[in-house]
Structure 1
Amino acid sequence: MVGAFDLAMCMFFGLIGTTTLHLAKAMERHGIEIFDRKKTFKEKGKKPLIWFIGFGLNNTQFIWQLFGNSFAPASVYVSVFGIGLVLLLFYSVRILNEKMTKWDWIGSGLIILGTLLVGFILFNRPEVTPTINYNTFTALMIASAIVIPTIVIVSRLRRIWISLLFGLAAGACGGIDNILKHSGLQEGNWWIIGISFAIGGCAFLITQWGFANKADASKLVPAFNATYIIVPIMFEAFIITNFITQLTSLQIAALIVAIGIIIAGMIFMTAIKKWKSPPESVHDKLHDAS
């Protein structure tokens, strides 16, 4: 069992990681107009600098991952991941002037709750050296290589749910990156680690493509968080021998509930708007009150 000091240090670096990552995503969305060829450099103002600062923060993530995972398992590191979303939502509403309806707030809150619950459930999972089933691993990688690009391309061509689907696709890549880095380091398998960096790069590119297509950071990043947390659990369950047997029946049931909460959050942020007339946004209320 991991000691209290090691747990605290891992969570400390996890907090640094989640705050810098979410701030980076917000700043990248803020400055994405540097790639708009229709605008002059003068019209873009300070946005190029903002984007490059966000880009720099985004590329510090591997540092916090390495420090955090040196003290405790990756499940402890990501247990605080949802907290950074609060910072991003504040930035999105106050600085980017993105509109958040009450359904968006409820959905984001459920995603934060679900991701924190997943981290709490896996908090005391014993760390073991993973044994990877490479046949299953190969099948999942092929499936991911087909499904993820399909989701992104269909969303872009049909102009549907860009914030949600681009976020889910990018988060899936980020989650696969996370589990492959952890598994590769545990097994000393450097080709897996190399693949993880390539997949991590895909997560970044999908995010930027979504922002370039006017995706709201306040909607894309909660979706990113959902698959960033869920996908590693699914991959571990399928490719790592005896992963399920490490968990108690109560932990398995709680994980199912947590994943259900995350899915409910995504429904609130998308389908609810189709069933009900759009309510007054929370942003408008804040703006009117100021």
Structure 2
Amino acid sequence: MQQSQFEKMKNGKGFIAALDQSGGSTPKALAAYGVTDDAYANEDEMFDLVHEMRTRIITSPAFDSNYILGAILFEQTMDREIEGLYTGDYLTEKKGIVPFLKVDKGLAEESNGVQLMKPIPDLTETLKRANERHIFGTKMRSVIKEANPEGIKDVVDQQFEIGKQIIAAGLVPIIEPEVDINSPEKEKCEELLKAEILRHLNNLNENEHVMLKLSIPTQANTYKTLIEHPNVIRVVALSGGYSRDEANEKLKENDGLIASFSRALSQDLNVSQTDEEFNAALEAAVKSIYEASV
């Protein structure tokens, strides 16, 4: 792990761009960008198109380290190149932006009001490749829909169990137990979640560090104790289905919480825009999310 990247993630001003839509969510991401499913004949062509979209975002002058601290990549993006460099190296060397990798394989069926992660059988191999590709950290997502103490405990146990493997491989895990923003028990879920996360954080050694990616809480500053915890590098927020304006407003109420937005970052981008239009739309998004984060 690079100390300079660690310092940047811990103390830098800005937010994390989530560019990690995977196989399941790629068609939706492309459709939002104006690329319909008749534009590709198979999965390979689909992934080529999404890499073009991500390359356009990452190489844009608006994708600027003055505002963006890190970027979360999909595994295929990590293995592909931008202007002759692996994506992680391009981010680090050309942009000064810290690269992360999404490592989960999607969600299991709902049980006890939550969705755990599916097993990640090739994790050791993936972490080895992530190190070879100079990736700083990882991200993995579970979902909480009900204030079920047993379910929430299972989610956090699983996240930290895999998180420890990631730490042992020399990477920083972003632990993401998302609370569904439409849950009627959202606030109760957040209280239970906070207690479970705190229990695990307090059991880490002083040299074991994690990041947390959480839904923006119903009660502002619910996660203050997590943000201030010595084992936590940073707590970032997902937009979770809120529009960018709504997510930004909610984020501003939470001290020390920064954005890690995906759809809210790219919602105004379109394949048919000229580079000038595209860069202007991206710049407006980047600056508004930055303002909400700082």
TM-score, normalised by the number of residues in structure 1 = 0.27
- For the pair shown, which has the larger CA radius of gyration, 1 or 2? 1
Q: Which has the higher helix share?
A: 1
TM-score, normalised by the number of residues in structure 2 = 0.27
Higher RCO (CA 8 Å, separation ≥ 6 residues) = 1
